Amino acid sequence: REPGLPPGPPTVPLLGNLHIFPTEFAHYKFTEWARQYGGFYSLKVGPGTAIVLTDAAAVKELMDKRSATTVDRPPTHVAEVVAGGLNLVLARYTENWRTLRRTAHAILTPQASARHLPIQLAEATQLLHDIIRQPESFYTHIRRYSSSVIMSVLYGKRAPRYETPETTAFFKAQHEWELVLEPGATPPVDLIPILKYVPARFAKWKRDCMKTRKLQRDLYFGLLDETKERMGRGEENGSYMEEVLMKQAEFGMDREITGYLGGVLIEGGSDTTSSYLQSLVMALIAFPEAQRKAHEEIDRVIGQHRMPTLDDLEDLPYIRAMILETHRFRPVAPLMIPHATLAAEEYNGYVIPEGATIFVNAWGIFHDPDLFDDPESFNPDRYLLTENGTKPGVDGSNLRPNFAFGVGRRICPGIHLAQNSINLNSMNLVWAFDFAMDTDANGKPIELDTFAYQKGILTGPLPFKCKITPRTAEKAEIVEREFAEATDTFAKFEFGLSAEDKEFVAQSRTHGH
Ligand code: HEM
């Protein structure tokens, strides 16, 4: 460790801390180290340096205030090979990133996101309808919901079933993408660049990258061309990619970059929202007292005879607190997405070198016992006591309610669309259902493992079993009625459906009536 760097675990020659660098669930190890070395420490990764921030004041200063220097991402050779540097999430600070970001920002404003509420509402009703019919498949129903919303919003084309071909193609491409991005899936090409030049026939990782590239391109450009053709026929339905295509010149987007913008937004929008909602269900089961309070509030404010609407949220402080608590309890991106520095910075008397990777340890901050009372408990009440859920008397002003969505110039551009989905579905799920642990053959409840999560930089619960029952017969009827009434909204997004999807739609509508 060079002099001037913040402290960190002892290093060994050449490797630095590489031999102890966690390859999965890194946020747990990073948090353990934070309790030992403090909220601002360094790790040596071979010749490179990584800084881990587990201190909200340091995050605010370095990531938000000095975001002009901390806006970069570390080099990821795999992302270069697979997406030609055009993946907005992983792109370095380049002209292409700026173009992608500007366009994403322009089409994802709060006002623009509000225009997509009708399809979000309709899809959220289908989610309740699907869970009523097949409660045991709630996990995939939630995944279908988020994938269908993002496809509808971007390309004006929905996914009535989990098995809808575009959804299946996306999940397949995404799975391959996650595999090649997994630490250890490739030799350390970013540390030892010469490895990039091994011919593909000797390097399986290169062939895997090319396979992923093809899967992504087939899907992204297929959807883009379909949107263009639909516009050519005069069948616009107000989707985001229509807007991008119309303003391509104004946004400075060519075909290549436009295709990847759509693709990365499907990626960013699908499993993040579904992981969040799956975590919420898990938390409500594991912490029945929180569920009881949420039920009590929603019964009191909404009553039994109508579904909640987004406007109701204002009158539902406990539900709002529950929504924030879910972001804290199980953040979808526990280490956010690593940033990197464009120039050296100084902080607290230490140096952060140019090109250092910066991990914002959201997990470690959200689970810090000095900030949060009993951080391992799911307890929405903490957000009724203070704005950021911190213990009364502790300074929580370096946090903010949208902290789980990232920092500085890289903050999630999908935040408004995502938060609308989260708000709507959180209210709906609590209003409609009782959630309980599954029982064994003797009727004994089977405890949930609330740490059974997927590996990866974005994470959500592994599939789990539980019992979901509609709270009243009347509520189940209201859902069926609303679902039937959403037919016209759905119809605008149901073009080019496969024969199976058409059949499914016809059947579920009859059922709805
Ligand atoms: C529960 C929902 C979501 C959560 C918690 C979430 C969280 C995050 C986080 C933590 C980051 C990294 C920010 C950083 O590097 O500082 C991020 C980036 C990003 N998110 Fe989201 N996100 C969600 C939904 C969405 C949706 C719906 C979209 C698309 C419509 C989206 C698109 C993106 C993109 C494109 C980036 C990369 C931005 C960049 O690097 O400039 N996300 N998100």
Could you read off the pLDDT of 170-227 as tens digits, one per residue? 999 988 888 888 776 777 788 778 888 888 888 888 899 999 999 999 999 999 999 9
Query: To test ligand 1's pocket by mutation, which of 64, 107, 405 has the most ligand atoms within 8 angstroms of CB?
Result: 405
Q: What spacing in Å lies between the alpha carbon of 214 and ligand 1's midpoint?
A: 24
* Structure confidence at residue 204 (pLDDT): 87
Q: Name the residue with the closest Cα to ligand 1, atom 20.
A: 412
| Mean pLDDT, the chain cut into blocks of 10 residues (513 residues total) | 97 93 92 97 94 98 98 93 95 96 92 92 97 96 95 94 92 88 75 81 87 95 95 92 93 95 93 96 98 98 96 98 98 96 98 97 98 98 98 96 97 96 98 96 94 91 97 97 94 90 86 50
* Structure confidence at residue 513 (pLDDT): 45
* Structure confidence at residue 508 (pLDDT): 82
- Using the atom order of ligand 1, give the atom closest to the CA of residue 362: 10
Q: What are the residues facing 455 on neighbouring strands?
A: none
Tokens of 76: 């990821």
Q: What spacing in Å lies between the alpha carbon of 190 and ligand 1's midpoint?
A: 24
For 266-292, the pLDDT digits (tens) are 999 889 999 999 999 999 999 999 999
Closest C-alpha to 125, from 102, 109, 141, 147: 141
pTM for the structure as a whole: 0.95
Residue with tokens 């031999």: 19
Q: How remote is the C-alpha of 467 from its chain's centroid?
A: 25
Q: What spacing in Å lies between the alpha carbon of 89 and ligand 1's midpoint?
A: 8
* Structure confidence at residue 99 (pLDDT): 96
- Using the atom order of ligand 1, give the atom closest to the CA of residue 154: 30
Q: Annotate 66-125 with DSSP letters as a single string.
A: TTTTS-B----HHHHHHHTT--TTT--SSHHHHHHHHHHHHHSSHHHHHHTHHHHHHHHH
* Structure confidence at residue 511 (pLDDT): 57
CA atoms within 13 A on the CB side of 153: 33
